[in-house]
Amino acid sequence: MTEQNEAQESSFDALKWVFVVILVGAAIATNVYLDTYSSWIRWGGIAALSVVAAGIALLTAKGKGFLVSLAASRSELRKVIWPTRKETNQTTLIVLVVVVIMGIILYFIDMLLGWGISSIIG
C-alpha cells in the first residue's frame, strides 16, 4: 500500500470508531429511555445495536488484527494435549490434600503465634 492509501484507510478507521462509539451510546440510551417498554423490545434494541457496533469494529484494522489473533489462539488450542479423566481426578485429589494439610499447618502456626502474643501482652 502507498502512504496515501494507508492514511486514507486510517482516517476511515477513525470514522468507523466514531460510529461504533455512537452506536454504543445509542445502546446505553436505549437501556435508559426504553425502560417503560417491554423488556423484549429494550433488550432486542440493545442487542441489535451491540451486534452492529461489534461488526463495524471488526471491520477496522484493529478488529481484523483481533480476528487474526483469535484464529491463532484457536489453532494453538487444537495443539494442547488435554489430561485424561483419571489424571484430572488424581491432580484434583492431590491439590485438595495439600490444601487441607496447609490449612492445618497454618491453623497451628496461628494458634502458636496467638498463644505467644497473648503471653507477652498478658
Both 100 and 114 in a single domain? Answer: yes
**Does residue 9 sit in the same domain as residue 67?**
yes
27 & 60 share domain: yes
21 and 2 in one domain?
Answer: yes
**Are both 42 and 58 inside the same structural domain?**
yes
Mean pLDDT of the chain: 90
- Mean per-residue pLDDT for 41-63? 92
On the question of pLDDT at 31 being above 80, the answer is yes
Q: Do 108 and 119 belong to one domain?
A: yes
Q: What is the pLDDT of residues 73-95, one digit of tens each?
A: 999 999 999 999 999 999 999 99
Quick one: 63 and 86 in the same domain?
no
Q: What is the pTM of this model?
A: 0.56
Q: What is the pLDDT of residues 43-53, one digit of tens each?
A: 998 999 999 99
- Residue 42 is predicted with a pLDDT of 87
The answer to whether 27 and 50 have CB atoms below 8 angstroms apart is yes
- Work out the burial of residue 49: count CB atoms within 10 Å of its CB; fewer than 13 is exposed, 13-18 middle, 19 or more buried: buried
pLDDT one-digit tens code per residue, 13-27: 889 999 999 999 999
Q: What is the domain count for the chain?
A: 2
**Distant-in-sequence, close-in-space partners of 9: CB < 8 Å, separation ≥ 6:** 1, 61
Q: What is the DSSP letter of 2?
A: -
Q: What per-residue confidence (pLDDT) applies to 2?
A: 62
Q: Count of H helices and E strands in the chain?
A: 4, 0
To the nearest 10°, the Cα dihedral for 40, 46, 50, 52? 80
Residues 57, 113 share a domain: no
Domain coverage including residue 87:
81-122
Q: Are residues 24 and 47 both part of a single domain?
A: yes
Check pLDDT > 90 for residue 1: no
Query: Residue 3 corresponds to which cell in the numbers above?
Result: 502512504
Give Cα separations from 2 to 5, 8, 73, 88 (angstroms): 5, 10, 31, 54
Do residues 43 and 70 share a domain? Answer: yes
